[in-house]
Structure 1
Amino acid sequence: MRKIKTGIVGLGRLGKVHATNVVNYVSQLDLIAACSVVEEELQYASLNLGVEKTYESFEEMIDQADIEAVIIVSPSSLHTKQIEYAFKKGKHVFCEKPIGLEVKEIEQVEEFIEKRKDQVFMLGFMRRFDESYQYAKEMVDRGDIGEITLVRCYGIDPSSGLPSFVQFAKNSHSGGLFIDMAIHDIDLVRWFTGQEIKEVYAIGNNFAYPELAEYGDTETGAALMKLSNDAIAILVSGRNAAHGYHVETEIIGTKGMLRVAQEPEKNLVTIFDEKGVRRPCSEHFPERFKQAFINELIEFAKCIIERQVPGVSAKDGLESTKVALACTKSFETGKLVALEDEAK
């Protein structure tokens, strides 16, 4: 079996998830190089994952390491430049969302990618590779629930991670709630409906950590959206779920409705004790979407080997980012934002 020599840039929480998955679960990829500006992360790659070559410079890794593909899990502001550099050097690229933070930069890199049909680019919208979401998508595509009239999404991180996130936002690493978190739900809305989003109105608040407002972010946000065919989407994103990581998606159609993960159960175990009867919940996104993260990298490798075009494209990243930025603008201004106006 052919193994694709692969490098990775970024070994924070999600970077470690991807790197560990490659080493343990994705046999088609061979992780031989890693890049990070944090020495401890490079040591982790060498000692825990057996990575042969480590680099502090992304450009040096691309130029010097004998790799065919690279997995980009660096800060979002670096994505477009790193994608373009890797593509210029003939590498296949898997990039975590978002594809970038500026529309013009994303448009430029999308055009750059489109000119190189022999190279694979794939964006990390992992929920598309979750079995439950794929099952729901098959039902929608068959017309089982008729024409979609409304999509409602919840995406709320556990409150246990909120204090560390406040420090993260303080250091200006966050792209904001809508682009960091809601973008997954925005992608689901586009994926399930096949429609673009034309108007958004977003609001938010900070009750647990009011200082988040000083850093231009919010701990709880909501957005009401009108789609190109006048269907409706409602998104709720947050960072303060006391019970664990909460992701839920409801799709209402003219003939029925679907609900994915109404309760964010960790497994099929029910606990009976002095606290009553309860079901454990997933504590964080790497746990809830563990198999989805593995599945997307298997798909990435398959597309390289079989010369296929991934189902998740740079355009998906561009359109979702446009909507997320429009939500951010609506939140900041308190006004309805039309996507057509933003494009002018």
Structure 2
Amino acid sequence: MKRVKIGIAGLGRLGRTHAQNLAFKIPQAELTAACSIVDAELDYAKNELGITELYKDFSEMVNKADIDAVVIVTPSTEHPWQIEAALKAGKQVFCEKPLAVTIEECKATEKIVEQYPDQIVMLGFMRRFDPSYAYAKEKIKAGAIGQPYLVKATGIDPEADCQSLIDSGFIPKSGGIFIDMAVHDIDLMRWFLEADAKEVYALGCSFKHPEFKRDGDCETGCAMFEFENGAMGQIHVGRTAPHGYHIETEIVGTEGSIRISPVPAKNLAILYDTNGVVQECVRNFPERFSESYVLELEEFINCVIHKTKPSVTVYDGTKATQMAFAAKAAFENHVVTPVEH
């Protein structure tokens, strides 16, 4: 059986999830190299994953390491040049979202990718690979709910993580709540509705943590998109879910609707005690989408082996980024804002 030799760049929380999946859960993958500017992350790669080819310089890894492909899980600002460097070195590329942090960089990266039509570049929109979302997509394609015309998406991070975001100084650097948190939901809207957005209006508020407003952001944001085919998309993103990590999606069609995770349940167990009937919730995104992260990398590896194109491309990354920036502008200016394509 052919195995694809992989080099990973970035071993933070999500990077470690990808690294463990590549090392232990995907038989066709062989994780042979790692790159990070953080010594502790390289120590983790060596001691926990058994990787011996360790690098602090990304360009050095893609040019010197014995690898077929690279998985990029570095800060978003690094993605465009690292994708280009990997392609120039002849490697296949999997890159976490976002594609870039500006529309101009997204478009420039598209042009770079187009120069290498025989190489694979896949973007990490893992929710498309979640079994529940994938099932919903298949039901929609089969006509189970008729013509879909509305997607309602909720994504709220746990309150337990909120103060650390404030204390770390992350908020002013995040790009704003719609860019930081809404991109996955935006991508799902395009996927389910099979259309691009036309315009958006957005609002935000900060009732519990005024620090968000002080830093030019908000703790909760809502946006309403109109799509080019007349369909609608409604997003509610926030940072203060008291019960855990809350992800919920509903697709409404002419003949029915599909709801995914109305209760973000940890598992199928339900506790009956003096507090009533209690169902524990998932605590974070690696827990909620653990299977999705494996499945998306399996698709990437299969694309490399069979020389096929992935279902998620750089163009999806650009479209989602355009919608997120339009929502940010609508929130800041309090006006209906066109989505430029």
Amino acid at match of 2:41: E
**What is the rounded CA distance, in whole Å, between the counterparts of 2:291 and 2:302 in structure 1?**
16
Match of 1:82, SS?
helix
Aligned partners of 1:262, 1:107: CA distance in 2, in Å? 36
- Residue 197 of structure 1 deviates from its aligned partner by 0.4
Give the count of matched residue pairs: 341
Aligned mates of 1:248, 1:23 — CA distance in 2 = 31
Whole-Å separation in 1 of the counterparts to 2:35 and 2:65:
11
Q: In 2, are the aligned partners of 1:98 and 1:180 still within 8 Å (CA)?
A: no
State how far apart, in whole Å, the 2-side matches of 1:294 and 1:2 are: 18
Q: Which deviates the most, 273-282 or 125-134?
A: 273-282
- Name 2:256's counterpart in structure 1: 256
Residue of structure 1 equivalent to 2:276? 276
- Is the CA contact (8 Å cut-off) linking 2:99 and 2:123 kept in structure 1? yes
User: Are 1:129 and 2:129 an aligned pair?
Assistant: yes
Q: For residues 214 and 67 of structure 1, do their structure 2 counterparts lie closer, same or farther at Cα, with a shift above 3 Å needed?
A: farther
Q: Secondary structure of the residue that 1:191 maps to in structure 2?
A: helix
| Secondary structure class of the residue paired with 1:18 | helix
Return the alpha-carbon distance in structure 2 between the equivalents of residues 16 and 172 of structure 1.
26
Q: Is the 8 A contact 2:149 2:193 kept in 1?
A: no
Could you tell me how far apart the structure 2 residues matched to 1:247 and 1:88 are?
38
SS at match of 1:239: strand
Deviates more, 1:268-277 or 1:295-304: 268-277
Distance 2:149 2:49 in 1: 47
- So what's the TM-score if we normalise by structure 1? 0.96
Deviation at 1:276, TM superposition (A): 2.0
Q: Which residue of 1 aligns with 2:106?
A: 106
Tell me, what secondary structure is at the counterpart of 1:122? strand
CA drift of 1:244 comes to 0.7
Task: Report 1:147-226 matches (<5 A).
Answer: 147-170=147-170, 172-226=172-226
CA distance in 1, matches of 2:212, 2:32: 39
Q: How far off is 1:55 after superposition?
A: 1.5
**Percent identity of the aligned residues?**
47
- Given that 1:203 and 1:331 are in contact with CA atoms closer than 8 Å, whether structure 2 keeps it comes out as yes
In 1, the alpha carbon distance for the partners of 2:173 and 2:81 equals 17
The alignment partner of 2:182 has SS state of: helix
- Give the distance between the partners of 1:20 and 1:218, measured in 2 at CA: 34
SS in 2 for 1:8: strand
1:293-332 matches, cutoff 5 A: 293-332=293-332
Cα distance, 1:299 vs structure 2: 0.5
Structure 1 residue runs of 4 or more that deviate by more than 6 Å after TM superposition = none
Q: Is the partner of 1:164 in helix, strand or coil?
A: helix
Asked whether the 8 Å contact 1:271–1:279 carries over to 2, the reply is: yes
CA distance in 2: counterparts of 1:224 and 1:237, whole angstroms: 12
Give CA-to-partner distance per residue, 1:279-324, whole Å, 9 cap, x none: 1111111111100000000000000000110000110000000000
Q: Secondary structure at the match of 1:238?
A: strand
Using a 3 Å threshold, how does the CA distance of structure 1 residues 196 and 260 change in structure 2: closer, same or farther?
same
- Aligned-pair distance for 1:172? 4.8
1:224, distance to aligned residue in structure 2 (A): 0.6
d(CA) in 2 for partners of 1:207, 1:44: 40
Q: Indicate the residue corresponding to 1:334 in structure 2.
A: 334
Partner deviation per Cα, 1:82-136 (whole Å, 9 max, x = no partner): 1111111111110111111111111111122123122111000001001111110
Deviations 1:28-48 (A, max 9, x none): 111111111211111111111
Q: In the alignment, what sits opposite 2:57?
A: 57
* Structure 1 residue 213 displacement after superposition: 2.6
Residues 170, 215 of structure 1: 8 Å contact kept: no
User: C-alpha distance in 2, partners of 1:48/1:208?
Assistant: 40
1:290 is aligned to: 290
Note closer, same or farther for the CA distance 1:216–1:263 as it changes in structure 2 (3 Å cut). same
Residue number in structure 1 paired with 2:76:
76
The one-letter code sitting in structure 2 at the alignment partner of 1:76 is S
| Residue pair 1:84, 1:109 contacting (<8 A) in 2 also | yes
Distance 1:46 1:75 in 2: 21
Distance 2:92 2:276 in 1: 51
Q: Deviations over 1:182-203 (max 9, x none)?
A: 0000000000010000101111
1:315 partner amino acid: Y
The alignment partner of 1:296 has SS state of: helix
Q: Which amino acid aligns with 2:195?
A: Q
Q: Is the 8 A contact 2:172 2:216 kept in 1?
A: no
Q: 1:173 to 1:59 in 2, by over 3 A?
A: farther
Q: Secondary structure, in 3 states, of the residue corresponding to 1:6?
A: strand
Alpha-carbon offset, residue 338 of structure 1:
0.6
Structure 1 unmatched runs, 5+ = none
Quick one: structure 1 residues 11 and 193, their matched pair in 2 at CA, closer, same or farther if it must change by over 3 Å? same
The question of 1:119 aligning with 2:100 is answered no
Give 1:169 shift: 4.2
- Note if contact 2:330-2:336 (Cα within 8 Å) is conserved in structure 1: yes
Counterpart of 1:45?
45
Confirm or deny: 8 A CA contact 1:169 1:217 kept in the other structure: no
Letter in 2 for 1:221: G
